[in-house]
Amino acid sequence: MEKFTTHSGIVIPLDRSNVDTDAIIPKQYLKSISRTGFGPTLFDDWRYAEPGEPGMDHSKRKLNKDFVLNQEPYKNGSILLARENFGCGSSREHAVWALEDYGIRAVIAPGFADIFYNNSFKNGLLPIVLSEKKVDDLFVKASSKDGYSLTIDLDKQLVIEQDRETTEETPFEIDEFRKYCLLNGLDDIGLTLQYADEIKAYEKRRRQEAPWLFA
Amino acid sequence: MTGKTLYDKLWDAHVVREEDDGTALLYIDRHLVHEVTSPQAFEGLRMAKRDVWRKESIVAVPDHNVPTTTADRGNGSAGISDPIAKLQIDTLDKNCAEFGINEFHMDDIRQGIVHVIGPEQGATLPGMTVVCGDSHTSTHGAFGALAHGIGTSEVEHVMATGCLIQKKMKNMLVSVDGKVGPGVTAKDIVLAIIGQIGTAGGTGYAIEFAGEAIQDLSMEGRMTVCNMAIEAGARAGMIAVDDKTIEYVKNRPYAPTGEIWDKAVKAWRDLKSDDDAAFDEIVRIHAGSIEPQVTWGTSPEMVRSVNDKVPDPADESDPVKAKAISDALDYMGLEAGQPINEVTIDKVFIGSCTNSRIEDMRQAAAVVKGQKVADNVKLAMVVPGSGLVKKQAEDEGLDMIFKEAGFEWREPGCSMCLAMNADRLEPGERCASTSNRNFEGRQGQGGRTHLVGPAMAAAAAVKGHFVDVRSV
Ligand code: SF4
């Protein structure tokens, strides 16, 4: 997993609530058995003028000019700004893989769906919850079209806005274990297997208490 | 000391270890696997040279991608015309064979939607922790189990370690008090709940559904309710164990027998919240006020009674919400203030892990019997949830009722619920669907989905528009 320490990038304002994982990566692409290659079809239905299918050369497809990812300066953005309940719906981790593959490193929203939130951390994508008011404020700034950038410092847990004269810092919450894994790019399977003996001891006890669970 | 909720009990029984910050290793009893969210997990195991922790914990089945026409199902996966879909199903077969995992293959009568076959086989038992790389795993909570959907990295983690890394969620009680009126079903109850608490209302919670109207439901109905807990934002929904639960589980292939059965039943009797258990949030709904529901928008919370009108964004004071309403009306091709029962439909889909069990088939057939699908309906299809549901329905003659009315009677799978295979809506087509998601493009790009219960879908099929099933 890629480490996340600090990241600076252009903010992409996606002004919608309840952006679901079907919208992030439509189902026809879920037939892939690989973890990579989903970037070109991120937000496929919104991003392109015509429906897409796996196997197409996506670089040749006609773009929907009204969609934010197709506009300057957002094309080069790496921090996605969205409304409440981002990532709701299906558990498909392909949604996170698509965001990552496209080059998004962080998503800022007032709230995330639980499974999406969880999946993000497993792939080095940082979901940041900020207050609705702060998100509103960022939408106004990011919509000004001249390439509004932010810096995210995971260790200090800060979203940093910097222009010529002023610096504004907004703190965010993240749980310790997830932060530790992200900062160090750690594979949590390896961490869990350090406790293999405890897991075995638990199993042994449960086999006696509740043998029907092991049939 | 206050008592424990059902969720507290399930959680406590499965914690292997817990860190100071509350991050826990939760032991997983049952892992259900399907073809879409598992290939990358198996690949991960192979790359790290890891084996599966406990093979017997896993049951695998292909469901999302399988074709549902009899012609395409003759010959195992060879009948699948889409080579990418075929590869995914073949990959599941290959992975299961390599890792020694029990799989119900495409041509096995036990094949079906993963959330239908788990309970049907008794692979889902009360008191279990159940996971699957699929958000509708919440379905299995109907058995007094702790069941949640997980992502593919977590699928790999559970395969490799037998455990899931979790933090405890908060407790929410949704109590549906009193009795529902005649003709009001489990689907109407859960849609009404989502309409009230919203699609993010349950985020961060495990929801326990309780109250007289929930107790009155059959196990099929309870599964319908828990299935859609995720649409209310909750990863897990659950219902206390009672006689109906135990009766349903008895004699299923994976269920215990003899002495162990007796011991299990004794343990299962305690799978309910204590009278003095404390919940972080309590929601009460009067069952008597619930009418048959129809979603009008692109999120399951955009739902109203069939006798109501499509909302008007002008009546909404919050600008973000007003925009969401007008976006949804644009996408759905509806006018503000239009009566819902005047909305005509193009297709009908009865199926999905929400409503494809035998009771759903019976409810729909009862409405369809002796009627014909309306002329304006281009396609009406029934897709049973499993091979065994299909067989049972055929034994009861339900397939004939559907076919005589002009429905297509299909082979089991997810089908048009997510349209990964050939079953899908064309742009602009409007569908009465018994599935669980009405997101933009969910049933095919540009398709318009209205979520309803099976009897309401059947009524819409014969009338050609939405109609209160109680008046048909
Ligand atoms: S029927 Fe639909 S919701 Fe259920 S598992 Fe299949 S695709 Fe998912």
CB B347 within 8 A of CB B425: yes
Residue type present at position A162: Q
Which is nearest to B60 in space by CA: B37, B26, B87? Answer: B37
For the segment A82-124, what is each residue's pLDDT rounded down to a tens digit?
999 999 999 999 999 999 999 999 999 999 999 999 999 999 9
Average pLDDT over residues B195-210: 96
Task: Provide CB contacts within 8 A for B431, sequence distance 6+.
Answer: B345, B346, B347, B348, B349, B416, B425, B443, B447, B448, B449, B450
Q: What is the largest CA-CA distance in chain B?
A: 64
* Cβ–Cβ gap B440/A45 under 8 Å: yes
User: What is the C-alpha to C-alpha distance for residues A15 and A61, in angstroms, rounded to an integer?
Assistant: 24
- Look at residue B2 in the predicted model and tell me its pLDDT: 85
User: Does residue B250 sit in helix, strand or coil?
Assistant: coil
Q: What is the mean pLDDT of residues B404-427?
A: 93
Euclidean distance between CA atoms B214 and B209, whole angstroms = 7
ipTM of the complex: 0.93
HSE-CB at A184 with a 13 A cutoff on CA atoms is 10
Looking at residue A163, its pLDDT comes to: 79
8-37 of B, contacting A, C-beta below 8 A: 16-17, 19, 21, 23, 25, 27, 29, 36-37
Model pLDDT for residues B7-32, shown as the tens digit of each residue: 999 999 999 999 988 999 999 999 99
Residue A210 pLDDT level (bands cut at 50, 70, 90): very high
Residue B307 reports pLDDT greater than 70? yes
Residue A212: list chain B partners with CB under 8 A.
Answer: 125, 255-256, 260-261, 263-264
Sorted by where each starts, the structural domains of chain A and their CATH numbers stand as 6-184 (3.20.19.10), 187-215 (no CATH)
Pocket test for ligand 1, best of B61, B417, B442, B449 (most atoms within 8 A of CB): B417
CB contact under 8 A, B437 and A206: no
Confidence band, pLDDT 50/70/90 cuts, at residue B420: confident
Under an 8 A CB cutoff, do A212 and B204 touch?
A: no
Mean pLDDT of chain A: 94
Task: Spell out the SS3 assignment of chain A.
Answer: CCCCCEEEEEEEECCCCCCEHHHHCCHHHHHCCCCCCCHHHCCHHHHECCCCCCCCCHHHCCECCCCHHHCCCHHHCCEEECCCCECECCCCCHHHHHHHHHCCCEEEECCECHHHHHHHHCCCCEEEECCHHHHHHHHHHHCCCCCCEEEEECCCCEEEEECCCCEEEEECCCCHHHHHHHHHCCCHHHHHHCCHHHHHHHHHHHHHHCHHHHC
Q: Report the distance separating Cα B433 and Cα B5, nearest Å.
A: 34
- For B107-122, write each residue's pLDDT tens digit: 999 999 999 999 999 9
Contact list in B for residue A54 (CB cut-off 8 A) is 84
Question: B1 pLDDT exceeds 70?
Answer: no
Of B128, B154, B200, the CB nearest to A85: B200
Measure the CA dihedral B385/B388/B393/B395, to 10°.
170
Contacts of B200 in chain A (CB under 8 A): 18, 84-85, 88, 111, 113
Q: Per-residue pLDDT tens for B263-300?
A: 999 999 999 999 999 999 999 999 999 999 999 999 99
In the block, residue with structure tokens 């995330």: A112
Ligand 1 centre distance from Cα of residue A131 (Å)? 33
Residue A75: is its pLDDT beyond 70? yes
**Residue A29 with chain B: CB contacts under 8 Å:** none
User: Across chain B, what does the average pLDDT equal?
Assistant: 96
Instruction: Report the chain B residue with the minimal C-alpha distance to residue A50.
Output: B445
Q: Is the pLDDT of residue B312 over 90?
A: yes
Span B29-50, average pLDDT: 95
Q: List, as ranges, residues 299-328 from B with C-beta within 8 Å of A.
A: 299, 320, 324, 327
Residue B33 has pLDDT above 80, yes or no: yes
CA closest to B254 among chain A residues = A215
pLDDT band at A196 (very low <50, low <70, confident <90, very high): very high
Amino acid at B361: M
CB contact under 8 A, A16 and B235: no
Pocket of ligand 1 (CB under 6 A): B 63-64, 113, 115, 134, 136, 352-353, 414, 417-418, 435-436
pLDDT band at A145 (very low <50, low <70, confident <90, very high): low
Angle at B118 between CA B117 and CA B124, to 5 degrees: 155
In angstroms, the CA A131 to CA B221 distance is 38
CA distances from B292 to B289, B303, B356 (A): 10, 10, 18
Tell me the pTM: 0.94
